[in-house]
Amino acid sequence: MVKNYTDEQLLSRVKSLPNFKSIPTDYWILGVRSNEDTPDSFDDKFYIYKGEQFITVTSGTTNPGVSILKGGFKRYNNVGAAVVVADHWYYGVWKKGKHLGRTTGLLQLGAKIKVHRDGNLNDKSEATSNIMEGYFGINFHPNTYDFNATKTNSKIGGWSAGCQVVNNMAKYREILNLMPSGVKITYCLLNEF
C-alpha cells in the first residue's frame, strides 16, 4: 500500500512536475501509484482536493488487472495494456457520464492522456518506453456496476484495462457526489516518492 503523505508533501510534489500549470480551483483528483505494485491488488490511492484543500482519500488502482496484462489487452489494443504515464498532469481530462453505459463515472471526454503500452504478458504493470497519447477511454470508475454496493473488493480482475478504479463504493459515492456535472475534471498521477 502507498505510504502516507502530508498535504504539503503532495502539493509540493505535484507543483514540481514538468507540465504543471496551476492547481485547479475546483475539485480535482490526485492518484499515487504504489512502488510495490502487487499484481491484481488495489494498492494505490486517490486523493480528492478542492484547490489546495484536502477533502478525502480512498484506495484503488492505477494499473491494469492481471487478466488484462496477460493478454486481455488485445480486445482493446494489440500493442499492450494501457498504463497511464505517471508524474504528469492531465488537465480537464474527465467529465461525468456513464462508464460503459452501466455506472456513473468520470469519462475521458476532455483532454488526451498518455499511456505506456505493456505487452510483455506478465503479471506486473510496467512503464515501458512505448508511450502513446490520445483518447483511449481511460476513465475513473468503481470495480462494480452496483452503485449501491457496500463490499470493498480486493482483486482488480478485469475492472481495469487502464482505467483508474476505486474499490471502496462508499468512498466512490462520496467522491462522485462532489464532482459537478458538465465540468471537466483534472487528474494528476504520481509515482510513490
In 100-157, which ranges are E strands?
Answer: 103-107, 113-118, 131-134, 140-142
Q: Is residue 2 domain-resident?
A: no
Give 105-157 pLDDT, tens digit per residue.
999 999 999 999 999 999 999 988 789 999 999 999 999 888 888 877 889 98
Note down the domain range covering 23: 7-191
User: For the chain, what is the domain count?
Assistant: 1
* CA distances in angstroms from 109 to 36, 46, 76, 116, listed in the order given: 31, 20, 18, 20
Gap between the Cα atoms of 103 and 169, Å rounded? 12
CA distance 158 to 168: 16
**pLDDT-above-90 percentage for the chain:** 82
28: left (phi over 0), alpha (psi -120 to 50) or beta: beta
Q: Is residue 1 part of a domain?
A: no
pTM: 0.95
State pLDDT tens for residues 49-78: 999 999 999 999 999 999 999 999 998 888
pLDDT at position 130 is 82
